[in-house]
Amino acid sequence: MELIKILPLLLESAWLLPLASFALIVFFGPRMGKGGRWAGYLATAAILASLVLSLCALGCWFVLSPPTEEAAHIGGFRIPPLNVERYCLGQFDSLRIVVGYYIDSLTIAMFCMVTLVASCIHVYSLGYMHEELEEVTDPLVRLAKGQPLRRRGRFPRFFQYLSLFCFSMLGLVIAGNVAMVFVFWELVGICSYLLIGFYFERKSASDAANKAFIVNRIGDFGMIVGLMAVWTGFGTFSFGDWQDTEGRVQPGIFRQVRPSPDAPKPIVPDGMVQMAACHEVEAIVCGAPDLATARQEIAARLPLWRSQGYGYWLLVIAGLGIFCGCVGKSAQFPLLVWLPDAMEGPTPVSALIHAATMVAAGVYLVGRFYPVFTPEVLLVIAYVGSITLFIAATIALVATDIKRVLAYSTVSQLGYMMLALGVGGWLAGMFHLFTHAFFKSLLFLCSGSVIHACGTNEMPQMGGLRKKMPWTAYTMLVGCLAISGAGVPVLGVGLSGYYSKDYIIAQALLFKSQNPTHAWMFYVAAAGAALTAFYMFRLWYLTFAGQPRDEHVAKHAHESPAVMVAPLVVLAALSVAAGWNLFAKQLGLAPLLDSARPVGPTAGASAGLWIPQVTQPPEELVHTPEVHVPAALIAFTMALVGFLLATSIYGLRKLDAADVRRQFSPIYRFLVHKWWLDELYDFAFVRPVLGISRFAAGVDRKGIDWLADNLARWVELLSRLDDWIDRTFVDALVDLTARWTYALGLRLRAIQTGNIRQYVMLIAVGTVALFVLMSLYWNYATASF
């Protein structure tokens, strides 16, 4: 069999293995060994097998499109993406709901990343969740009488959800059409909900789960609007070209909006033009003699309408709608409040779902949908990304909960990715997605290890843990260096974050040079680099450096078992090396992703229809020394500033943190309250909604209930009357009939004397009487029988 046929099969099995594991654990989980121990091994084996299959697929890809020198320079599709349709769920007119795959190097890279991180986290969870094997006492949940809650361990359930999540995430990545993306989009959402609420007895956990779910619904509402626009405009959900039942090749979304690979401007699809020009279409149809000529007429007019800008707003709506879903899932600016609260879930979940994979799915979808976005949408994406990046980074400066610092850091890094995508740096955004997945899951797992050892999330109670848990401390240091973008700018060598963050800042600089009015985004990105370095090293110093601040915690602390340390080492190695290109810069993550780059939108300067003054610079320009060198220097300098500041405050204690806090007390308060975002939303949305619902409840109780009660009372009264009539008249009539019958019976009873001779006499007399009567009155002549 050819490799190109094997490739989908490999990815398909990698995708379905976690589902099989999920199904087995659902049915047999609690019976798998003591406390469901084998469920963990099963899920881990499944994801490890998926990892192996994904790596095989990666090997296949390299064989199919070898990383040669000229290939690296051509860019764009070296082999066209595979669009495989496996099963048609249903066809409603021209709406086809299909299970299909869209496979390019991005898909394969995502598969490898997701399965790799998930494998590490599965192994780690085997150690981290071991308490769930036995009966658990949860001191955070107090029962009515004040004693802590005791409950059965949920070890199998945890791995069951993890397996379901892996299946959903891989499905989201492999999906070949937007409908399938949406299904798996919601599936990862529900997994996130279930896992945030894993300790659902805790009020905070169940609240956080609800918050995450509801905030995501807001984003998904926009996404549905986007889907509708896509459906009406393109007439298909499929990304790539597909074959209809007669074997004709139909263009998918991407080819409709970018018919030629080097067109910088998106083409508004026919459907959207017709939708927008509905009045003109109506006039033509009414005026034409028959439908065929009307169709020809409309087809002839389409280019004119398109050049007049008809339907462009629909394309913008489609892009904004899809992006809206990504805003919810990736916790971008207006909807970023759920992700920090989601840290109520177990730490491996935070690492897998709320750092490395699911929240990156929003970025992934923006990257996947990149050809559809118009410059206006891209500008919105860039704005949202920069705002998010700044807000989240500033909040992370003052958070004291170790996981919350990381959560805000995640939001901030996702903002970086969105910013990169928005300013035209497709490769930069996607590259950062991958490197971030590695170092952020590493950081989360390290924090999990710390929490496991200390039994608290609060950094002020930690300190000096470096000696107690050296593996955790130094792997986390690697993570901090990676996320801060540590490297040697002169040699161009660094940890993975160095490459991706430099790339993003270079893209922002390039955008600034072309559009000076939007320069602030570059400044925010540069400042973000300093903030990132500051809060990461603040976290590290507070946790691992200095003297222990809490005797009890320090005495209790210990290095985690090998099963938890091993994934840390693997992820640390990846955080260091993920950005490196081997073999003369042809074999590496960036060239691999580059071959999936949608060429159209990143090819050349393109301006939006509505905002002609904003131009998207071509992505290649970022490699010119005028952009690359200053960007690298700025990024490095900013990170160094952040690092030195953190070191002087928390490492060397030259500056007193409390003093600084006093000095900037209004800002500090503003940041500690998370920009008052939660309060703002509470005031702007939650309270009005509660007010409306209270009002509705009042109307229900006072109005509708009153009506219903009165109606019931009237009905009761009526039935009482009816009952009285029934008893008095109808029943009496029946009783009377019965009494008469009874009396008659009593009378007639006397006839039966029991005297046999009397009976015989009566029979004889009766017979004679009958004969006499017959002879008198029966006329034989006219009688008829």
Partner 1 sequence: MNLLTQPVGVSHYLVVGAILFVCGVVCMATKRNALGVLMGIELVLNGANLNFVAFGSPYLQPDGRAALGLDGQLLAIFVIVLAAAEAAVALAIVLCYYNNHATVDVDRADQLKG
Residues that bind partner 1 (CB under 8 A): 748-757, 760-761, 764
Closest approach of partner 1 to the CB of residue 715, in Å: 50
Q: At what angle do helices 426-454 and 562-577 cross, to 10 degrees?
A: 160
Rounded to an integer, what distance in angstroms lies between the CA atom of residue 642 and that of residue 663?
19
Residue with smaller CB distance to partner 1, 292 or 756: 756
Instruction: Decide whether 300 or 761 has the Cβ nearer to partner 1.
Output: 761
In this structure, which amino acid lies at residue 89? Answer: L
- What is the H or E stretch that residue 23 is in? helix 3-28
Indicate the residue among 654 and 757 with the shorter CB distance to partner 1: 757
The DSSP code sequence of 128-142 is HTGGGGS-EEEEEEE
> How does strand 95-103 pair with strand 82-92?
antiparallel
- 685 vs 771, which CB is nearer to partner 1? 771
Beta carbon nearer to partner 1, 648 or 753: 753
Contact 400, 541 (CB under 8 A): no
CB of 774 to partner 1, least distance (A): 17
How many CA atoms are closer than 13 Å to the CA of 665, on its beta-carbon side? Answer: 4
Residue position matching structure tokens 């994801």: 47
What backbone phi and psi angles, to 5 degrees, belong to 289? -70, -40
- What is the smallest separation between the CB atom of 772 and partner 1, expressed in angstroms? 16
Nearer to partner 1, 663 or 755 (CB): 755
- Closer to partner 1 by Cβ: residue 286 or 746: 746
CA 383 to CA 217: how far, in whole Å?
22
Select 145 or 757, whichever has its Cβ closest to partner 1.
757
Beta carbons of 266 and 315 less than 8 angstroms apart: yes
Taking the complex as a whole, the smallest distance from the CB of residue 750 to partner 1 amounts, in Å, to 6
Closest CB to partner 1 among 63 and 764?
764
Spell out a b/e string for 735-753, using b for 16 or more CB atoms within 10 Å of the CB, else e: eeeeeeeeeeeeeeeeeee
Supply the minimum distance, in Å, between the C-beta of residue 780 and partner 1: 19
CB 520 within 8 A of CB 436: no
Find the radius of gyration of the CA atoms of the chain: 37
DSSP secondary structure string for all residues of 553-576: HHHH--PPPHHHHHHHHHHHHHHH
Residue 778: CB minimum distance to partner 1, A? 20
Kindly tell me the number of DSSP H helices and DSSP E strands found in the chain. 33, 12
Least distance CB 762 / partner 1 (angstroms): 9
**Per the structure block, which two tokens stand in for 433?**
């997605």
Q: Are 32 and 153 in contact (CB under 8 A)?
A: no
What's the closest the beta carbon of residue 731 comes to partner 1, in angstroms?
A: 29
Nearer to partner 1, 751 or 776 (CB): 751
Interhelix angle 375-398/402-422, rounded to 10 degrees, is 160
Least separation in angstroms between CB 734 and partner 1:
25
User: In terms of DSSP bridges, do strands 581-582 and 587-588 run parallel, antiparallel, or are they unpaired?
Assistant: antiparallel
What's the min distance (Å) between Cβ of 759 and partner 1?
A: 9
CB of 757 to partner 1, least distance (A): 5
Determine the residue type at 209.
A
Cα separation, 306 vs 316, in Å, equals 14
When the beta carbons of 6 and 760 are compared against partner 1, the nearer one is 760
Give whichever of 696 and 744 is closer to partner 1, judged by the CB atom. 744
Residue that has been written with the tokens 């279409």 in this structure:
281
Residue 755 Cβ vs partner 1, minimum distance, rounded to whole Å: 6
The rounded distance, in Å, linking the Cα atoms of 271 and 643 is: 53
The token duo for 228 is 């509708």
Residue pair 571/478 in contact (Cβ under 8 Å)? The answer is no
